[in-house]
Amino acid sequence: MICEVNLINIYLEYRDLSMRSLDLSVDIAGLSLKTPLILASGILGLSGRLLAKISRAEGVGAVTTKSIGLKPRDGYPNPTIILLPYGLINSMGLPNPGAEAFLKELDEAEDLSSPLIASFYGYSVDEIVETARIIAKHPRVSALELNVSCPHVSGVYELGFKPELVAEAVSKVKKIIDKPLFVKLSPNTHLIVDVARAAAEAGADGLTAINTVKALAIDTELFRPILSGVYGGLSGPALKPIALRCVYEIYKEVDIPIVGCGGVSNSLDVVEFILAGASAVALGSVIAFKGVGVFRELAEGLSSYLERKGFRSVREIVGLSHR
Amino acid sequence: MLDRHRRRIVRIVRRVDECLDTVSLYMHNPFSSDPIPGQFTMIWIPGVDEIPLSISYMDSCILGVTVRGVGEATRILCSLQPGDTIGVRGPLGRGFTIVKGRSLVVGGGVGVAPLRYLIYRLIDVGVDTYVVFGFRDKLHTIYLEEMEKLSVEGRIKLCIATEDGSYGFKATAYDIASRILDESFDMVYVCGPEELIRRILVLCVEKDLPMEASIEGYMKCGMGVCGSCVRGAYLVCRDGPVFDRDKLLEIGEIGLRRRRASGTIEPLL
């Protein structure tokens, strides 16, 4: 009896120790994250107060803002979103208050407790550079993410297909900012690896793969596309195998860190992305289904996985499937 | 969730002109679950827009919404006739909490829409219901006959106020509510202009009374992902549109500022 109790105690102590030594923290492109889980751009990231609240939620490694442009943009009229059994199609149309107004928004992000990544876009290289110049100066911005891949706003969408344009934008932005720069890649091109390589060679510090896949839905009663912007971007579970393939391909060819993004809905999805080569993973559509509490759920699931497989940190499994 | 966000195309079966610029539209109930008063629907006018409207009427076969024509989408909605089709998803968001005992229902303008459905529920569960509705003038009153009938039948206590005194008391809904409100009330429900909500909020904090108000945000996705309807650090579509006193206080900006489609903050005062 005594022996049995001792064994249980020893087991509990051992388990406590192993849980404590499990390290979910990651360093990516100069950012130190408590967990590899990042709030993806476009999800909830409009208000400084809400971003700060999410940054304090358990399991959150970093938060990304909605994409910010030089000038305010209303986005498209509704319907801007469609819920499907396998994901979402959205055509928000990049609504944002513009770079200058967004600085005031960030002033309200008090108690921010995880790094904030500011997503931004422009219709031309000049506009991209100007927007970066404005938002990078805010002390609460830890890193920038260049969105060259929004599938429902033409002008922004096409940039991401042109390796030389992306390279030009990246090198010009890097010259004027002293913060890490990520580039969010479009899956709507066969050139994704070329764009990734061009961004890396031009000085990008990290890559986010992928943005949504250009998609469409039609109302069969009314015989018309449902979204007012006609085309939207498909996200959610349907996207995951495509996103995973992109991360895997990019990891083989490009040396800078990758944030995996696309259809993560459980902790094994997170593991898959990391095994494919992602150093961190961004969550988006899953928040529609599970709320912000999903960060904690996935962080715990990731811990259990590492423990079960005998790993001590996330870093040990990055790209492990490339053997 | 999938079911609530499916856009169902329904035919309008009846329209009632409530006043000069406000219309109630009735359609076959497309919902598979019973909505809670205060919950809302997203109404799709194909080719125009999709807008949030609170549920103003509900029985087992009919859903009703009440809309005031203020912008393009709402004006077109106001012009629809029986037989016309619209898309509907819902019921969405968090509604009012039904509390037994004595309740005060305060509404201003078209903000009385969700309160009408609430009042019928309160009556059903035997709540002692006091209703205070305020309007600009007699030409802008809504649900007047219906509320007067409930009052005559003794099912509610009713006070109507108009700013110019053309009907009922010459006062605002706030003036009347502030006179009636005392510690005997178990819940105060409010919907209407944010100025009204803010003042009632201050009153309920002073008197330490529980309160719930339905507020607005610039709604886009309606499912808690886009963040467009954020007020304070809450989403109106998912955490609201009904918030309790403490959350309203935490939001802080009620009646002071709001966001436009772009997310740009606009002061209200």
- Search chain B and give the residue with CA nearest A110: B233
Tokens of A196: 């990734």
**Does the pLDDT value for residue A188 go beyond 50?**
yes
Contact status of A45 with chain B (Cβ, < 8 Å): yes
CB contacts of A66 in chain B (<8 Å) are 227, 263
Closest CA relative to residue B108, chosen from B172, B19, B24, B37: B172
Q: CA-CA distance, A44 to B263, in Å (whole number)?
A: 11
CB contacts of A92 in chain B (<8 Å) are 220-221, 226, 228
Q: What is the DSSP string of B181-226?
A: --TT-SEEEEES-HHHHHHHHHHHHHTT--EEEE-----SSSSSSS
Return residues 92-151 of A near B (CB < 8 Å).
92, 95-98, 101, 104-105
Size of interface A-B (CB pairs under 8 A): 125
Q: CA-CA distance, B108 to B136, in Å (whole number)?
A: 9
Model confidence at A1, pLDDT cuts 50, 70, 90, reads very low
Task: Spell out the residues 6+ positions from residue A230 whose beta carbon is closer than 8 angstroms to its own.
Answer: A91, A216
**Does the pLDDT value for residue A142 go beyond 90?**
yes
pLDDT in tens, A159-186: 888 999 999 999 999 999 999 999 999 9
Half-sphere exposure of A229 (CA within 13 A, CB side): 25
Contact A78 B262 (CB under 8 A): no
Catalytic residue among A3, A150, A246, A261: A150
In chain B, CATH 3.40.50.80 sits at 96-214
pLDDT in tens, A46-93: 999 999 999 999 999 999 999 999 999 999 999 999 999 999 999 999
Tokens of B253: 């900006």
**Min CA distance, B160 vs chain A (Å)?**
36
Q: Which of B51, B225, B259 comes nearest A78 by C-beta?
A: B51
Closest CA relative to residue B226, chosen from A72, A287, A115, A234: A287
Which of the four CATH numbers 3.30.70.240, 3.30.1300.10, 3.40.50.80, 3.30.70.600 does domain B96-214 have? 3.40.50.80
Cα pseudo-dihedral B19, B21, B22, B25, rounded to 10:
110
Confirm or reject CATH 2.40.30.10 for domain B8-92, answering yes or no: yes
Geometric angle at alpha carbon A303, from A298 and A307, rounded to 5° = 145
Mean pLDDT value across chain A: 92
3-state secondary structure B85-127: EEEEEEEECECCCCCCCEEEEEEEHHHHHHHHHHHHHHHHCCC
Closest CA relative to residue B38, chosen from B86, B105, B84: B105
In chain B, CATH 2.40.30.10 sits at 8-92
Model confidence at A23, pLDDT cuts 50, 70, 90, reads confident
**Min CA distance, B60 vs chain A (Å)?**
24
Which of the four CATH numbers 3.30.1300.30, 3.20.20.70, 3.40.190.10, 3.30.565.10 does domain A25-317 have? 3.20.20.70
Q: CA-CA distance, A8 to A118, in Å (whole number)?
A: 48
Closest CA relative to residue A97, chosen from A74, A126, A130, A131: A74
CB contacts of A56 in chain B (<8 Å) are none
Lowest mean pLDDT among A150-154, A319-323, B249-253: A150-154
Contact A79 B44 (CB under 8 A): yes
pLDDT in tens, A216-238: 999 999 999 999 999 999 999 99
3-state secondary structure of B28: strand
Q: Which amino acid is residue A17, in one-letter code?
A: L
- Search chain A and give the residue with CA nearest B253: A49
Q: With pLDDT > 90 as the criterion, what percentage of chain A qualifies?
A: 87
Contact A80 B226 (CB under 8 A): yes
CB contacts of B42 in chain A (<8 Å) are 78
**Per-residue pLDDT, A10:** 57
**Per-residue pLDDT, A303:** 96
Q: CA-CA distance, B116 to B216, in Å (whole number)?
A: 17
CB contacts of A80 in chain B (<8 Å) are 220-221, 226
Q: CA-CA distance, B200 to B254, in Å (whole number)?
A: 11
- Mark whether A246 is an active-site residue: no
Do residues A262 and A243 touch, judged by C-beta distance below 8 A? yes
**Per-residue pLDDT, A7:** 58
Q: CA-CA distance, A90 to A232, in Å (whole number)?
A: 5
- Using alpha carbons only, how large is chain A's radius of gyration in Å? 20
Contact A97 B262 (CB under 8 A): yes
pLDDT tens string, chain B, 269 residues long: the values are: 888 999 999 999 999 999 999 999 999 999 988 899 999 999 999 999 999 999 999 998 999 999 999 999 999 999 999 999 999 999 999 999 999 999 999 999 999 999 999 999 999 999 999 999 999 999 999 999 999 999 999 999 999 999 999 999 999 999 999 999 998 999 999 999 999 999 999 999 999 999 999 999 999 999 999 999 999 999 999 999 999 999 999 999 999 999 999 999 999 87
Enter the ipTM: 0.91
Contact status of A254 with chain B (Cβ, < 8 Å): no
Q: For A263-283, what is the mean pLDDT?
A: 97
**Does the pLDDT value for residue A106 go beyond 70?**
yes
**Per-residue pLDDT, A297:** 96
Q: DSSP class of residue B155?
A: S
Q: For A246-265, what is the mean pLDDT?
A: 97
**Min CA distance, A22 vs chain B (Å)?**
31
Contact status of A309 with chain B (Cβ, < 8 Å): no
